[in-house]
Structure 1
Amino acid sequence: MLHDKRILLVDDDPFDRELISESLKDAGIVNKIDFANDGVEAIEYLFERGLNKPILVLLDIKMPRLGGMEVLKRIKDDNDLKIIPVVMLTSSKEDVDVYKSYEYQANGFVCKPVNFSDFQDVVKRIGLYWCLSNETAF
């Protein structure tokens, strides 16, 4: 079942990770959340999971070592990973970040600090879409 699947939250800020995790729980999302502190950890996690890929990646844009845009591009360029929905998270309100996110095929874009109600709605919509379109993907 899908609630047995994991969500990967990639953010170098522990405070933001905690807020986002709590928001997901408050929205009734019961999936286990795994964390990566930067893009390098995210890529390692994704390529080491085999068939146990996460059902969603929440990805900060600005991180040390490897930024979110590069991680997004690698996810969407990989045949095994590209079906995973990715929501970009950023404190930037630059139009170029929004544009590049969607150019690289992000499934959503949320500005931090987030309105958690809006964030929960985005995650729920993406989750529903993913469930309906990828029932046998994993």
Structure 2
Amino acid sequence: MAYTPLYQQPGFRQSVPSEGTWQHVPKDGFGGITWRNADTGETVVCPVIWYTLPGKTYATSLRFNAVRAEQSAERREAEGMPWSAGDAEKMRQDARRLRAMAMLCDRSPDYPAGSIDFRGLSDPTTPKDVQDTIVTDIEAGF
């Protein structure tokens, strides 16, 4: 069978359309992500990018990054340099933020990650005090 690039697949889209309810269609050995519209039956094929992944898959990657941030924080503290404590604290805050984002993904595991409202946690311009408040609310179940 001849190879067909993903962008030439029938129904190729760069991302999942925002209108309608989309369900992930698992396929083995396939270089893209397939989504089916529950209302119309339309099928689209998307590249594997964070915002086209199902929420549960993106949550797994967020948790992996949170663990790595915690490990980096521990390594920084062990260095004992004057700036290490500040770096370690920032890394721990980042790990907490990533875990909160994963919790939001857990609430919508079958939706595309790009359609999940991360409440500004994925925006690097959101002030840290606002992020802390949002994370606390998510951890409390709001």
Q: TM-score per shorter chain, which class?
A: under 0.3
More strand by share: 1
Q: TM-score, normalised by structure 1?
A: 0.28
Larger Rg: 2
